[in-house]
Structure 1
Amino acid sequence: MTTRTPPGWYPDPGVPGAERWWDGTAWTAHTRAPGGQVFGPPEPVTAVVVPPARRRGPLMIGAAAALLVAAVAVAVTLRGGDGGGPQPERTGSSAVASGTVDSPSARPTSGPSPDPHTLVDQLNGITLPIPDGWEKTDDAVSGLLTMTTKDTYDCPGDAGFCHRGTVTTSTATMTDLTTAEAVAKNDITGAANAAYDHDPVGSRPYNGLTSHREVKSGPVVVDGRTGYLVRWQVRTAAGPGGYVESLAFPSTVGSQSMVIARFALDAGPDGPSLALIDTVTRGIAPIGGGQNGGVGTSLAPPSR
């Protein structure tokens, strides 16, 4: 059987240092200073908030104790009770005079979950397959469409966490270069620096690059069109180093601007297989599926 808290003035759970009238079933809109003047007649109203915690014994507290009881009442309410006795029943809205409490109906609802196996680049009209063990991430710093390995580790250089692999896509802008080869060759240095030398906020997760060498370059078919790739192996002052690739190819939408896909994979036994780069490249397709065809469809993959 539930025991109700009797009507009376109790410490206001929403306004420390004040008292609010409890009519036996709900809070009213009437408040007063502890033991002082009433700010309105103690008449019940329809708006209801979370009631105070049930207390044992007579109410004989001063102003300082009232503050303590109010804090305890709020904490107990948030936890759903402390097991020390029955709580007054809760009914109606949880609005209080000093503000409102968020309710499930006020929270936004999410739409259908995107395909966890596909990275969609709406701007360039393409999709990329997300390998097992990888996921799409929101890169708030660079703003690039990104997918990374799910597992992370402590960066060997500046404090932070690093991914074993990262892939980003973007549109080549602020350049007069018009061929995939020129765009890829121009981008590879920036791709290497962004992946292994310093991040957008200036941290050096691998204590910087120490050297690089080109291990692969040449034309390649991407989404049925002729693209070009440049791949470097890089060494870093800390950590295993890695492989970085800039892949450029014409978009199939809009003005057919060049698209740049950047790959960065850690070297060493813990790094992803280099074959993953070619797998993702072959899986790039227009949104909606299928292949576009066009110039370059007969090209063979570049040799290592």
Structure 2
Amino acid sequence: MSMTTPPGWYPDSAVPGVERWWDGTNWTAHTRQAQTQAQAAYGAPPVTPSTVPSPVVAPAPSARAGRNRAVLIGAVAVAVVAAVVAGVLVIGGDDEENPPTAGPTAVTTTPTAPPTTDGPVEDDDEDKNATRVDDQLNGISLPIVKGWEKPEFYSGPAPTVTTVGTYPCPSGSKECRHGTVSSHAVSRTDASTPEAIAKEDVAAAAKETYEEDILGSLPYGRMTAYKVVAAGPTAVAGRTGYLVRWQVTTDKGPGGYVQSLAFPSPTGSESPVVVRFVFDAGPDGPALAVMDEITRGIRPIGSDTNGGVGSSITPGT
């Protein structure tokens, strides 16, 4: 009584690691990767009756070749296992109970200092010893007169020069300074002449200083009155400008003086520039003559003179 092998996947003796489909009668062209490592590694022949013919795709290897291939594959398998075991030992080196017998050698390096630049090194005392403050945008330079400084921290427009030191504002809400001078470019205005610009800006300066500030506080209470104490054309930075000066009365403190000085920028664009002056009134405030001193000291950037154009024009009262 003869026995037949049922259809199924069986190792292909001609191609190690590959299984071929036996349809119950003949080998077909359908193949797949071996499903077990044992069959793939050693090329074990299918356990089938002798009635199952060998695949016709390629001749079966000789017995000696099969043995040699098995030995080679076995050696490779041993090497792979050894490598895996060594890797496990290294990875498991963090376990204090089972420290690794060998591991990578730590490489330490000594950091080097960063390269130096060719530019100048800024001196912390440079601002303290400065005699001028440059407004690069508008092309002018403001003088730092005696008793004044370039403040290290200031929330107002820049560039700015101020009297040295601060004091509690009359309302006690924050710290104030007895005098500030700042410059800014003119924008968003319908005013086209230095006179119109100065008149418009002095009102804004008085409101920003003596009314509610950007933080919502009232350092001087409220502005209760003002009067124009000076107005007229003047020469500044080699250009003819116009100034307007107000005396402001407040419900707290001695009040103060606000002046706006408008003139064309000495740069090529000659766009309008405003220099604002805010001085405290009373015995602690700067003398009004300092306003004129600072005005005379405004220069184009890089110039040693005030521009050399025009002459002093005494403001009308």
TM over 0.5: yes
SS in 2 for 1:137: coil
**Are the aligned partners of 1:144 and 1:170 in contact in 2 as well (CA < 8 Å)?**
yes
Please give the alpha-carbon distance, in whole angstroms, between the structure 2 residues aligned to 1:184 and 1:40. 84
Gaps of 5+ in 1: 1-30, 49-91, 94-102
Q: How many residues align?
A: 219
Match 2:122 to one of 99, 111, 114 = 111
SS in 1 for 2:187: coil
Percent sequence identity over aligned pairs: 43
Task: Give the Å deviation of 1:235.
Answer: 1.1
Counting only pairs closer than 5 Å after superposition, residues 168-187 of structure 1 correspond to structure 2 as 168-187=182-201
Task: Give the Å deviation of 1:299.
Answer: 5.0
- Counterpart of 2:295 in structure 1 is 281
- Mean Cα deviation higher: 236-245 or 112-121: 112-121
Counting only pairs closer than 5 Å after superposition, residues 102-181 of structure 1 correspond to structure 2 as 110-111=121-122, 113=126, 116-137=130-151, 141-181=155-195
Match 2:307 to one of 277, 285, 292 = 292
Please give the alpha-carbon distance, in whole angstroms, between the structure 1 residues aligned to 2:183 and 2:223. 23
- Counterpart of 1:188 in structure 2 is 202
Counting only pairs closer than 5 Å after superposition, residues 1-304 of structure 1 correspond to structure 2 as 45=106, 47=108, 110-111=121-122, 113=126, 116-137=130-151, 141-289=155-303, 290-294=305-309, 297-298=310-311, 300-304=313-317
Task: Give the Å deviation of 1:32.
Answer: 7.7
Please give the alpha-carbon distance, in whole angstroms, between the structure 1 residues aligned to 2:122 and 2:285. 35
Task: Give the Å deviation of 1:125.
Answer: 0.9
Amino acid corresponding to residue 300 of structure 1 in structure 2: I
Amino acid corresponding to residue 301 of structure 1 in structure 2: T
Please give the alpha-carbon distance, in whole angstroms, between the structure 1 residues aligned to 2:252 and 2:102. 72
- Mean Cα deviation higher: 225-234 or 250-259: 250-259
Task: Give the Å deviation of 1:276.
Answer: 0.4
For normalisation by structure 1, the TM-score amounts to 0.63
- Mean Cα deviation higher: 126-135 or 272-281: 126-135
For normalisation by structure 2, the TM-score amounts to 0.60
Task: Give the Å deviation of 1:253.
Answer: 0.9
The structure whose Rg is larger is: 2
Please give the alpha-carbon distance, in whole angstroms, between the structure 2 residues aligned to 1:237 and 1:41. 83
Task: Give the Å deviation of 1:255.
Answer: 1.9
**Are the aligned partners of 1:125 and 1:252 in contact in 2 as well (CA < 8 Å)?**
yes
Give a deviation string over 1:235-280, Cα, whole Å, max 9, x none.
1121111111011011111321111000000011111111000000
Gap change, CA 1:45 and 1:151, over 3 Å in 2: same
Please give the alpha-carbon distance, in whole angstroms, between the structure 2 residues aligned to 1:41 and 1:143. 66
